[in-house]
Amino acid sequence: MIQEETITKEKKPKTGEVFQHPSIRIPQSNLPRIVIIGGGFAGIRLVKKLRNSGFQIVMFDRHNYHTFQPLLYQVATAGLEPDSIAGPLRKLFGGMKNFYFRYAQVEEIVPEKKMIVTSIGDIEYDYLVIANGSKTNYFGNDGIIKNSFPLKQIPQALDLRSQILQNFEKAVLVNEEDKAKSLMTFVIVGGGPTGVEVAGALGELKKQVLPNDYKELDFNQMKIILIEGHDRLLSSMSDKASKKALKYLKRFGVEVVLGKVVKSYDGHNVILNDDTVIYSETLVWAAGVKGNVIKGIPETSIERNRILVNEFNQVKGFDRIFAIGDIASMKTDEFPNGHPMLAPVAMQQGKHLGKNLTSMLRGKELKPFVYFDKGSMATIGRNRAVVDLPGKRNFGGLLAWFIWMFIHLVYIIEFRNKLVIMSNWIWNYFTYDRGTRLIIRAFVKEKVKRQE
């Protein structure tokens, strides 16, 4: 039998927290313990790299699955089943010795006790890796927090999907033309990859799917409006990619508003900074993310909601606390404000930290992290995508779209999902159909709580 380590009451920090569980029951072992907060891209790459490494690994996540976020927009627009883009974390590492998953929320880090506080109890660590990513940044705008649809998690994608379909069910019923227009107007804020991809997918729904479902509606009234504060779309990509994306979106009937931002939204009226008003029942908020900073990290180690790390991903001021992925800000000559908050950075940092931790255990020297930019891409509806490669090469169109599909299939986490996703895509492509247009609400909206 494995011997249980019961963390007794004496060990609890005096923070006034109430613990329902006396212990989180991780077996005691002679191996040094790495606690990882978050099963996103960074966390899972790290664990993979640590297989047979001589550590005990404990991972916390508030979902029991990894979410493949780049395809969330397809769930929101009825292209894919939610289950297709989620990989159960226990399954991913099911065969791995000395790996323990705990389904819980991490509430506080207590560095002076080398311990973290979670919703199921507290646990000591030898090494701590903070990999809990980012959350939607509403810039403190209450109206937007309360009334907009973010797109960072699977339940949110299901919520947006249900909203889109319910709007059309309502539009069929209303007598006032203005109200129908407002129900059929979709405003997407943020011209990054997520915003562009949602807008393109909605354009596809407008052209090829919805008119058949809702014969009674006039689809000239359906408006898709993409709003971006910068003067071009995909501002992290090349100028050429921006221009192509704009061209492709227009072909799908998307109206693009550049250089403007949303001032307020009450659930019906979108007001821009130049006081333009757009009547819309649906505002998709894809205007930015911010780091998920956990209580307990000193203020001096935090900058702009990200945790400052050195080139080894060590958190400023600590030897054995690391941060990787979106939450980490590693300032370099190339990236004076830290790396972009992107999946490839997270994956590379996870993998790299895995190597460094193994080196640390063996008394070897750590190697600095260097980001290898493989390029970036975004897809815009059927048949079109834009790709930037390193070295200022870029291209778009059908070939880019095939490459986009291929890369996403390669990176999606489980083989079974690849099979399901590929058969969905092939089916959708040849039938101009979206099979999953179901109104299944995944949670009762408590929008005020979203910030948490």
Kindly list the residues in this chain that would bind a second copy in the complex (CB under 8 A): 2, 4, 6, 21-25, 27, 63-65, 81-84, 86, 88, 90-91, 94-95, 100, 102-103, 120-121, 154-155, 158, 165-166, 169, 172-175, 212-214, 216, 414, 416-417, 419-420, 423-424, 427, 431, 433, 435-444
Residue closer to a second copy by CB (options 180, 315) is 180
Residue closer to a second copy by CB (options 64, 264) is 64
Tokens for 63? Answer: 């979902």
DSSP state of 84: G
Residues contacting residue 336 through CB under 8 Å, at least 6 positions apart: none
Shortest distance in whole angstroms from residue 405 CB to a second copy? 18
Shortest distance in whole angstroms from residue 415 CB to a second copy? 8
Check: CB of residue 345 under 8 Å from CB of residue 374.
Answer: no
Shortest distance in whole angstroms from residue 62 CB to a second copy? 10
Q: Which residue has the tokens 């649809």?
A: 149
Residue closer to a second copy by CB (options 85, 254) is 85
Q: How far apart are CA 201 and CA 252, in angstroms?
A: 9
Shortest distance in whole angstroms from residue 123 CB to a second copy? 12
Shortest distance in whole angstroms from residue 78 CB to a second copy? 9
Shortest distance in whole angstroms from residue 435 CB to a second copy? 5
Closest to 165 (Cα-Cα) out of 72, 69, 76, 70? 76
Shortest distance in whole angstroms from residue 437 CB to a second copy? 5
Single-letter amino acid, residue 292: N
Residue closer to a second copy by CB (options 26, 241) is 26
Residues contacting residue 231 through CB under 8 Å, at least 6 positions apart: 258, 259
Residue closer to a second copy by CB (options 292, 428) is 428
Shortest distance in whole angstroms from residue 88 CB to a second copy? 5
Closest to 198 (Cα-Cα) out of 340, 386, 72, 282? 72
Residue closer to a second copy by CB (options 83, 303) is 83
Residue closer to a second copy by CB (options 58, 188) is 58
Shortest distance in whole angstroms from residue 94 CB to a second copy? 5
Residue closer to a second copy by CB (options 376, 436) is 436
Shortest distance in whole angstroms from residue 421 CB to a second copy? 10
Residue closer to a second copy by CB (options 5, 126) is 5
Q: How many CB atoms lie within 10 A of CB 377?
A: 24
- Its sign, for the CA torsion 238, 287, 135, 160, is negative
Residue closer to a second copy by CB (options 9, 392) is 9
Shortest distance in whole angstroms from residue 87 CB to a second copy? 9
Show the 3-state SS of 318-357: CCCEEECHHHEEECCCCCCCCCCCCHHHHHHHHHHHHHHH
Residues contacting residue 346 through CB under 8 Å, at least 6 positions apart: 40, 41, 42, 45, 131, 133, 324, 325, 326
Distance between first and last Cα of the chain: 39
Q: What Rg, from alpha-carbon coordinates, does the chain have?
A: 23
Q: How far apart are CA 406 and CA 299, in angstroms?
A: 42
Residue closer to a second copy by CB (options 23, 358) is 23
Q: How far apart are CA 150 and CA 287, in angstroms?
A: 9
Single-letter amino acid, residue 117: V
Residue 229: burial class (beta carbons within 10 Å; 0-12, 13-18, 19+): middle
